[in-house]
Structure 1
Amino acid sequence: MKFNLFKKAKTSVLTCADGKVVPITEVSDPVFAQKMMGDGFAVIPTGNTIYSPVSGKISMIFDTNHAFGLTMSNGLEVLVHIGIDTVNEKGEGFKRLAAINDTVKAGDPIIGIDLEALKAKGYDMAVMVIFTNDKYSELTLMEGDHQAKEEAATIQLA
């Protein structure tokens, strides 16, 4: 039996909401589209719950509940940012379903949103999933319509 000691593990990343998975370069905010915060993908949501795309520990949740960070056991850091400029709502339309320092599994609910109310106020509700550190070397995206908690991408660990 042969073993390849140099083969790196791949990790599945789940869709964080019901909706359409698109490349990060297609979002309307240039900070995300130009990958200034890191590579990743976006989901154009059709549902009212945002789920953890990976298993790990919730390292931060903004007071406004529009974004949260996760740290996986392998050190990979993931930022989930809900909508463009939704920070301006100061938490209106968002409900925290988990807490900082909680250990979560991929697919656990983290934030509830009032999608229709936020869209009615004119917000672009793309949900960005960004890998903010260099613990991975390759991202493979499965574009298209997905149900929440389906595989949206795989990442090759560095």
Structure 2
Amino acid sequence: MFKSLFKKKTKILYAFADGISVDLIEVKDEVFSQKMMGEGIAIKPSDDKVFSPCDGTVVAVMKESKHAVGIKTSDGVEMLIHVGIDTVILNGEGFQLYCEEGKVVKKGDLLLSFNRELLKQRDLDDTIMLVVSELNSHKIASFNAGAIIKAREGILIEYI
């Protein structure tokens, strides 16, 4: 009886895109694969839309390149969602933002979209990474890598 009173509630970061979830160490960029920015997970996308994996506040938007968005949850967990490898060189071409810094978002809100065909034409990898840059005393309980995942529904990361 007492164990259930003190058990921490697991929180979830949901899939931010349709596709196949991938362990971050498999990403073809050392900054991500060696976890220099933090723990996380990636998705090899099958679509061109990126959604919020949780409720939170947008704390960073790469306004020029439009390829990355930072979110902070109410419990202090901060994450960066980064579309593609070396996509910053496009200077925003092929990207569309649907959020801005300070905006409160709900799980499943559209954050950005991108032109997958343009990335393919430029020989750029379209893998999308989610890096948890600040856990704020939380611990990651599990990652769901190697799964066909549906945006806004599939569980990617559980933390306590």
| TM bin (shorter chain) | over 0.9
Contact kept in structure 2, 1:8 and 1:156, CA below 8 Å = no
Matching residue within 125, 139, 142 for 1:140: 142
* 1:104 equivalent in alignment to 2:94: no
Matched AA of 2:96? K
Alpha-carbon displacement from aligned partner over 1:78-120 (angstroms, at most 9, x marks no partner): 1100101100000001001122111111111000111111122
Q: Which moved more, 1:79-88 or 1:139-148?
A: 139-148
Alpha-carbon displacement from aligned partner over 1:14-68 (angstroms, at most 9, x marks no partner): 1111111011111000110011100010000111111111110000100211101
Structure 2: which 5+ runs fail to align?
Answer: none
Separation in 1 of the partners of 2:13 and 2:59?
Answer: 18
Matching residue within 138, 142, 153 for 1:150: 153
SS at match of 2:53: coil
Matched AA of 1:101? G
Contact kept in structure 2, 1:40 and 1:130, CA below 8 Å = yes
SS at match of 1:32: helix
Alignment of 1:73-152 (within 5 A): 73-135=74-136, 136-143=138-145, 144-152=147-155
* 1:25 equivalent in alignment to 2:28: no
SS at match of 1:73: coil
Alignment of 1:11-50 (within 5 A): 11-50=11-50
SS at match of 2:11: strand
Deviation at 1:153, TM superposition (A): 2.2
Give the percent of matched residue pairs that are identical in Structure 1 and Structure 2. Answer: 34
Contact kept in structure 2, 1:94 and 1:114, CA below 8 Å = yes
2:58 aligned residue? 58
Structure 1: which 5+ runs fail to align?
Answer: none
Contact kept in structure 1, 2:76 and 2:135, CA below 8 Å = no
Contact kept in structure 1, 2:12 and 2:159, CA below 8 Å = no
Separation in 2 of the partners of 1:23 and 1:139?
Answer: 15
Cα 1:89–1:139 change in 2 (3 A) is farther
